Structure 1
């Protein structure tokens, strides 16, 4: 297992948190998502043999947020 922190801009409410968590949870290989609205950080634990950083970034960006790894 690997872990990374995504820096997500534009999250401000519970709906934002749910959107980001839902998008990442749908990816095969993601085992845990922890969204911190106050800091804009999203901690992700994942299986690097099944999913990569680019796929996670795209999943969050598809929800309308800007992502920095």
Structure 2
């Protein structure tokens, strides 16, 4: 298992948290997603390290921006 925390720009409400969590949860290999609105972060647990481009695409699909 791998756990990585990503910084996400633009989240402002509970709907944002839900959208980001749903899209990240669809990335192949992801087993858990915890989104922290106050910190502007998502902690993702997966079977193996994720390709950052897959994570970026999921965050973009939700309507937000992956920082870094």
What's the TM-score once normalised by structure 2's chain length? 0.88
Superposed displacement of residue 52, structure 1? 2.1
Structure 1 counterpart of 2:46: 46
Unaligned runs of 5+ residues in structure 1 are none
Superposed displacement of residue 18, structure 1? 0.5
Structure 1 ranges of 4+ moved more than 2 A:
none
Unaligned runs of 5+ residues in structure 2 are none
The alignment yields a C-alpha RMSD, in angstroms, of: 1.4
What per-residue deviation string (whole Å, max 9, x for no partner) do you get for residues 10-67 of structure 1? 1011110010000011122100100000010110001226x42220121111221110
Distance 1:19 1:28 in 2: 17
Distance 1:57 1:47 in 2: 18
What's the TM-score once normalised by structure 1's chain length? 0.87
